[in-house]
Structure formats: C-alpha cells, structure tokens
Chains A and B, each alone.
Chain A
Amino acid sequence: MKLFTIIQKNFKIFSRSKVSALIIFLGPLLLVSLIGMSFSNTRLPGLTVGTYSPNYNDFTNSITAKIEENKFQIDKFDTEEKCSNAVKKGDIAICLLFPKDMDKTNNEITFVVDYSKINLVWIVVDIFSTQVSERSNELRTNYVTDILTRVVQTKDDLSKEKTELTSLKENQDSVKTTLDGASETLNEMTVNTDFGTDVTVAAAKSSIESIKSILESAETKITSSKTEVSNSGISVDVMAEIIVNLNSALSSLSSASIYLEGNSSVDSLEYMVTSLNSALSNAKAQLNTIKQKKSSLSADIISLGGSIDKSIKSAEVLNSAVLSMIERISSIQISDTEQIVSPIRTKIDPVSSPETHFNYLFPTLLVLVIMITAILLSSTLVMNEKKSKSVFRNFITPTANWVFNLGTFVSSFSAILVQLVIFLLVSMLFFDTNILNSFGSTFFILILIMSVFILLGMIIGYVFKSEETYVLGAITISALLLFLSSTVMPLESISDSIRMFASYTPFVVSENLLRQAMFFNFGIDSLFIEMIILVGYLLVFYGIIVAIQNFARMNVSIAKRKEEKK
C-alpha cells in the first residue's frame, strides 16, 4: 500500500536523523518535566518584597510579619530610593513604602511596582494588597469590637437604670394621688364664720328660770315616785335599788338647782356672755385667717399637682426614650464584628479545581506543545520532501498528490501522537494530571487540534522556499498565535477588532475546547460549535495546500525561466 510505504519511508528517514528522533521523543519528556517541576505549586515562592520605613514600629512590623507568614522573602532597604531602584532592576517584585510613625491615623502605604512586567504586576499588587488588607482587617476588627462592647455595655446600663426611672414615676404618681387627696380634704373642709346674732343676758335669764322650773318639777316627780315605789308590792331588794337610784337622781337635780341658784346672777351671766362673745370674735378672726390660708394652700396644692403632672410626663418621655434606646440597641441585627468589618464578604468559588499551576496551565501547555511540534514537524517533513532529490521521481510515478499529502499528514500525526502519549503519561504519573474523566471527548479534540496544526505546518512548509525561512516562518506563526491568545496577556487587554480575530485563532479555539473538556467534562455536543470551527480550519488549510501545490508547479516554471535567463 502506497500510503503505508510513504509513512514508512518518512519514519525511516526521520529515525536516521538522530537529532530529530531525540527531539521527537525526548523533547516532550524534557518539556513536561521542566514545566511540571516549575509550576507544580500554587504559590509564587520566588517573589521578594522590599520594604522601607523611616522608623519601623509595631504597626509596620505587624504588616511585614503578615507577609512573612506567607513565605515571601522580605528585604528591608535603608532608603526609599534604593527600594524603588530594586523594583526597576527586577531584584524585588514590589516595594512597600511605610509612612513615618505609621499608626492608626497615619496609615497610607505606597506600593512601588513595575508595570512593564505586565504579566506579573497585577498578581503582585493583588497578593500584597491582600496581605496588607488582611492586617488592616485585623485592626478594623479590633476597633469595631471595642465600639460594640461599649454599645452593649451602654444598653445594659440603660436597662438597669430603667427600673429606677419606673420607680421614680411611681413615686411621683403616689405624690400626685396624695396631693389630690389633700386638695379634696381641704376643699371639703368648711370654715363658717357666721355665728348669727350675739347671745343677750335677758334671754339667758329666761332660759335659766325655765330650767329651774323644770328641775323643780322633776324633783317633785321623783319624790312622788319614791312614795309609790314604797307602796308597791315589789320585793324589798328591788324596791331598795329603785329608791337608791331615785335618790341619786334627786340628789343630782338638787345639785343642778343649787348650781343654777348660785350662778344665776346677772353679772355672772353677763360676764360669761361677754367673755363668750369675745371668745367668739377671736375664734371668728382665727377662722377667717384659716380660711385665707386654706385658699392659699389649695392654690399651692393645685400648682404642685401641675408640676408633678409635668414631672410625670417628663419621666414618661424619659422612660420612653430609654426604652427606645434599649430597643434600638437591641434591634441592631449585626452584632458580629466580622459582619460589620466586612459587610459584604466575597467567596471565591472556582469553576475548576486543579491543585497546582501546572494543572491550570495543562490545557494551554498541551495545545502549545501540539502546536509547536505539529507545525515544526510537518513543515520539516514537507520541506525535506521539497528539498529532497527524489521530488521529481516521486512526481513521475503514478501516485496522486493527495497520497503524498496524506503520507506527510499521517507521519506527522503518528509522531505527535507518540509525543502526546509520552507527555500525557508523564503528566499523569508525576504531576497528577487527570484527563481520564473526560478521556473520550479530550482525545477526540486532541486529534482535531493535532490535525489543524499539522496542516498549518504543511502550509508553512509549502509556502517557504528555504530551510532557514520555513523555520523562521514556523516560529513566527507559532509566536503570533501564542501572543494572540490569553497565554501571555489576557485577550481582554487587546483592542476589540484584534480580539475578535484572536478569539477565533486555532490556538485560542483549541485551548478553550481542551479546557472545557478537561476541567468541566463538557461532552462533544456542548463543544460542537468550536469543533466545527476547527473542522472549518481543516478544510480551509487543506484547500490552501492544494492551491499552493498547483501554484508551486507554476513557480517551478518561473524558476526554470529565471535559471535559463541566467
């Protein structure tokens, strides 16, 4: 079979070139080992940080300690200028300039970075901003904890004082009730100074005579009664007792009569009436004074009641305010310091979970290895065939052009497949790369990627005339594809028009495909569009190869004419 013969011939020629064979088989081993060992970590241990402070203190030392905790090396510089120069020379990745006497209020740290190191600067700024902000957070947490403690303490104090306030209000209520009672009592108290007409002596004498008459009548009746009792048939004991009582009453009446007889003189009576009238006048005057004082006291009680009302209202307002304060303090929902310091917390949830830089880089690395080896190998095969003495003899044999093209393609494909297997095995065995999860789709994608880059390499081999220019061309195109991807700089950082173009380059499409298949286990159906793009590239590239071969025939003619002109 012709195809097999051509492939066999390619491999024989290739294997007889020891350097090429070494490159093919040892190249990927070397590449994967070097890159694997270089990137088998998740940190950037090579970063050195420069610091400068006119006077290091606990505050600055706490920040540098934080950086050292993360295994970054710290170089302390004597001057600000030396520190900045070290960044310019690339001795350190970043210089942190602390202000003099740095403390809570004087707290501005300057980062000196080299933006020309475009691929590193953002990582460095990010890392050290994080380091410093971690320390800043710690301080902020302390401050907020202090404030919170005081607030809670105030709330507790207010809660305690609130009972005193309640007691005050109750006392005031009690006072108010007492006052109201006093006021009522006072109001109920009637002070009447109107004693009517003064008592006259004649009237008094008449009254005494009447009383004397009544007393005499009563003595008569008692004496009569004694007689009747003695005549009655009642027991002696009872009779005696009644008579004793009647005698006692008679005696009392006699005394009263005597008294009335002895004091019934007009003078004595007048004197008594006059004295009584005088006493009455005094009493009247005193009662008037009492009446005035009562009115004044009543007004004072009303005024005091008003004041107490106001005081009660104030106490109520105060109580309500205290309650409100307690309620507001209690209603503070975020009492956790962390929540106040970082009200919005971010959590990074990586969509992929590789463990080392190597694993992150793996799809890119894989496409890069395939691209470079495929382009170089296939262009070398084409160039070797073109420059081979046998090109004419191959042409005159009854063998179609596509058979030779297919031979070159399959030879390159087989060699790269060997490389790829070595590469994948080494990666899996030594760097824990897992491609078995999505092996089916990954393998299919790898075949597509290899095919695209092999055809691209074949185009380069056909387009360029000399061995020097084709290598240059292969390297240039590989470099161009590399630069127009996110490997060196993010695609997002380049202009819109070029980004649009770059996002469809074989390298970018291949890298995306491989990443999606390897990290997210996307199936072939999910990656259909990207795969169609690669198939499109395959068809276009093959079309270009055929066109170039036809054009090359014309070119031979032109070269022949030039040769003959010479």
Chain B
Amino acid sequence: MAVPIVKIRGVSKSFGDKLVLNDVSFDINDGEIFGIIGASGAGKTTLLQSMVGFYQPNKGEIIFRKEGPIAVFSTLEQDSSLKNQIGFSTQYPSFYDKLTVKENLGYFAELYNIPKEFILPRIKKILELVELTADANTLGGELSGGMQKRLDIACSLINDPKIIILDEPTADLDPLLRTHIWKLIKKINSLGKTVIISSHFLDEIDALCSRIAIINNKVALVGTVQELRSKMNYDKEIILNLESKNYAKVASFLKGMPISKMAVRGNVMVIYAKQPESLLKNLVTILEKENETILQLEVQSPTLNDVFISIMQEGK
C-alpha cells in the first residue's frame, strides 16, 4: 500500500490579485516518481517552491512525513530540520559558477550541517552517481549545459534527501542529454528516493512518472497515466488514408454512424469514436464496395498530451 510522504492540503497562493494556486490538494507517495504538469503560469513552480518554504501559502499546508519508524507529519515551519529531507533542483542551475564542482558540493554540504567526516565520501558518491567525477575540479561555469544540470541535481542530493524535487529538469537540453537525465532520475529513484518532477515535456512525464498531477491553478487530475486516460473517457481516433483522397464521400457514408466528429488532417481523415471497433468493420466493408484503395487505417488511443490538452481546454 502506498504511503504518502508529502501531503498537500488545500494550498492556495496568490500574488497580489492573481490567484496562482487555488485549493490544491494531493498526496505524493514514498518512493514514487511523481509528475506535475500544467500550462505556463498554471502554478507548477509556485507549488514546488512552496513545498520548500520559498513561498508561504496564503491558505492550506504542505506537510512532510519525517524519517523514522513512526509516521510523524509536520510542516517546514513546525520542524525546520525537514529541510534536510528535501532536495531541490531548479529549472536553471543553482550553484556558484566560480566554484569548482567539488567546492560547490562541499559548500552546500556545510550549509546542510553535514558532519565534516561525511562530506568527502558523500561528494565522491554523488559525483559517481551523476557521472561528474572527472570534472570534480572544473569550475561550475565552465561545465556544459548537461553537466551543469547534473551538478545542480548533485547539489540537490548532497544532503541525502528523501524527497527530490526537480523543476523542469530537462528544459533547454537536447534529446540526448534529456535521455541521460531521465536515466539519472531513474537511478536516483532506484535509491529509494521520492522524486517530484514538474515538466512541460509530457512524454518525459509519461515515460518517468508513476503518478501525475495535472494542475491548472487548481488540481485537475491526479493519478497514473492509465487512470487519467480512463477518467477522461476520450474518443479514440481512426486514421484513414485513401488513395483517392475522396473523404467527402466517406463523410456521407458515416452519417448516422456512432461517431463524435471527423476531420481531414492533411492527407488523412481522422474519425473520433468511443467504440471504434464496430465502426471499423462497417467502414472497411463500405470502402471495399466502393473500390477505394485504403493506404492506411489504424486506431489510436489518446496520449497524455491529448488528456492534457483536453483538460486545459476544459479549464478555459
């Protein structure tokens, strides 16, 4: 049974008259990779930064389960030592350009009150984890984009946190580097750490996260990707590509059939239907009678992107 490690309860945050977070509530379970997605300005970063106390919610609370045999939950205000349990990697690397990789890690280790004797072994371990051992003495500012991201993640790991928050971890990275970061995130998660990711790359969330929260100033949906898809009860898409491209004739055949809508997208026709299987049989029969040559005919389930777009549109 999933055990929550973070409980977000009715959190609202406004900047002036703009309400950025409106009564947001959900739990994040111990050991999972939890994704937060939302449009720009939906409040993702505000929520994540509120989790580490950078912003104070106007309403609600964010409580953390303290490490230990007994489940004790408290907020950061109640127990500032909880800060030691959280690591945070921002969208833009947060370290000193003029310090070396090792110095940056050493500096933040001191700020997290890590005993002197543990600092060097921990730095060594983390550098191996993020594959920066060879660059330990390179200045932070001289690292490449991907290495800087890894250093930033390394910095967020220096206090050996239970929870790692990664805000847009692969923003501005090329696809290859993104893959590396994904691997790193999985590696970190495999060490038993709870990872919270916010990203606008939905494929990334889809690939990495066990559970997702879609927020649009308030929580729209929380669950696994499958749960989200099913919850949304979306139409499936039938993609039809005819040699003749005579889609007007097809449209006339489809009249009266159980479809939601249809549209011509480039060379293909897309037909939306909740039960595409029965429709497909009838459609193929009709087209054969009409001697139409079918180049492509396939059924596609809605992606996370579709779910997301749909929710965003509903939000509007």
Is chain B a partner of chain A in the same complex? Answer: yes
B112-A557 in contact (CB<8A)? no
The answer to whether A166 has its CB under 8 Å from any CB of chain B is no
Q: Is the CB of A12 within 8 A of B103?
A: yes
How many A-B pairs have beta carbons closer than 8 Å: the answer is 82
Q: Are B98 and A398 closer than 8 Å at their CB atoms?
A: no
Contact A395 B103 (CB under 8 A): no
Asked if B107 and A9 make an inter-chain contact with CB atoms under 8 angstroms apart, the answer reads yes
A12 to B111, CA, bound (A): 17
Q: What is the bound-complex CA distance between A396 and B20, given in angstroms?
A: 21
Pair B15/A558 contact, Cβ less than 8 Å: yes
Contact of B99 among A12, A394, A396, A558 (CB under 8 A): A12
Interface residues of B in 17-58 (CB under 8 A from A): 18, 20, 41, 46, 49, 52-55
Give the residue of A2, A17, A390 whose beta carbon is less than 8 angstroms from that of B94: A390
Which of B15, B53, B86, B94 is in CB contact (< 8 Å) with A564?
B15
**Complex contact A397–B98 (CB within 8 A):** no
Measured between beta carbons, the chain A residues less than 8 angstroms from B88 are 392-393, 396
Q: In the assembled complex, how far is the CB of residue B13 from the closest CB belonging to chain A, in whole angstroms?
A: 9
The distance in angstroms between the C-alpha atoms of A389 and B99, with both chains bound, is: 12
Chain B residues in 8 Å Cβ range of A398: 80-81, 83-84, 111-113
Which listed residue, B53, B55, B93, touches A557 by the CB 8 Å rule?
B55
Which one, B15, B20, B49, B99, contacts A9 given CB within 8 A?
Answer: B99
Q: Which of A1, A391, A397, A558 is within 8 Å of B83, CB to CB?
A: A397
C-alpha spacing A564/B55, complex, angstroms: 15
Determine if A560 is an interface residue (Cβ-Cβ < 8 Å).
yes
Docked complex Cα distance between A209 and B112 (Å):
187
Interface size on B, residues (CB 8 A): 39
Encode A409-436 as 1/0 by CB contact (under 8 A) with B. 0000000000000000000000000000
Given contacts A12-B103, A13-B99, A564-B41, contact A392 B90 (CB under 8 A): yes
- Contact residues of A between 343 and 361, Cβ < 8 Å to B: none
Decide if A197 is an interface residue (CB 8 Å cutoff).
no
Give the one of A12, A390, A399 with max B CB within 10 A: A390
With beta carbons under 8 angstroms apart, the residue of A1, A5, A388, A564 that contacts B96 is: A388
Name the residue on A nearest B96 (C-beta). Answer: A390
Q: B54 near A397 (CB under 8 angstroms)? A: no
Question: A104: CB under 8 A from chain B?
Answer: no
**Whose C-beta in chain A lies nearest to the C-beta of B42?**
A564
Is the C-beta of A561 less than 8 angstroms from some C-beta in chain B? yes
A565 proximal to B (CB < 8 A): yes
Report the separation of the CA atoms of residues A395 and B107 in the bound assembly, to the nearest whole angstrom.
Answer: 13
Establish whether residues A5 and B94, one from each chain, have CB atoms under 8 Å apart when the complex forms.
no
Report if A393-B108 is in contact (Cβ < 8 Å); known contacts: A398-B81, A557-B55. Answer: yes
Report whether A392 and B15 are in contact in the complex, using a CB–CB cutoff of 8 Å: no
Interface residues of B in 226-260 (CB under 8 A from A): none
Known: A396-B52, A396-B53. A561 touches B18 (CB 8 A): yes
CB distance A392 to B99 under 8 Å?
Answer: no
In the assembly, what is the distance between CA of A557 and CA of B21, in Å? Answer: 13
A392 interface neighbour in B86, B94, B112, Cβ under 8 Å: B94
Complex Cα–Cα for A17 and B104 (A): 17
SS of A interface (majority): helix
A258 to chain B minimum Cβ distance, whole angstroms, is: 181
Known A-B contacts A2-B111, A396-B52, A564-B41; A389 and B81 likewise in contact (beta carbons under 8 Å): no
Contact flag A560-B15 (CB < 8 Å), given A389-B92, A389-B95, A392-B54 = yes
- Among residues 209 to 268 in chain A, which have CB atoms less than 8 Å away from a CB atom of chain B? none
Which listed residue, B18, B104, B112, B156, touches A565 by the CB 8 Å rule?
B18
Given contacts A13-B99, A396-B52, contact A5 B110 (CB under 8 A): yes
Chain B residues, CB < 8 A from A390: 94-96, 104
Q: Is A16 an interface residue (CB 8 A)?
A: yes
Min CB distance, B112 to chain A, in Å?
A: 6
Most A C-beta atoms less than 10 A away, residue of B92, B98, B112: B98
- Confirm or deny: B16 has a beta carbon within 8 angstroms of a beta carbon on chain A: yes
What residues make up the interface of B, taking CB atoms closer than 8 Å to A?
15-16, 18, 20, 41, 46, 49, 52-55, 80-81, 83-84, 86, 88, 90, 92-99, 103-104, 106-108, 110-113, 139, 155-156, 159
Residues of A at the B interface (CB closer than 8 Å) are: 1-2, 5, 9, 12-13, 16-17, 388-399, 557-558, 560-561, 564-565
For the complex of A and B, the 6 pairs showing the least CB-CB separation, nearest first, are A561-B15, A397-B111, A5-B110, A393-B94, A13-B98, A398-B83
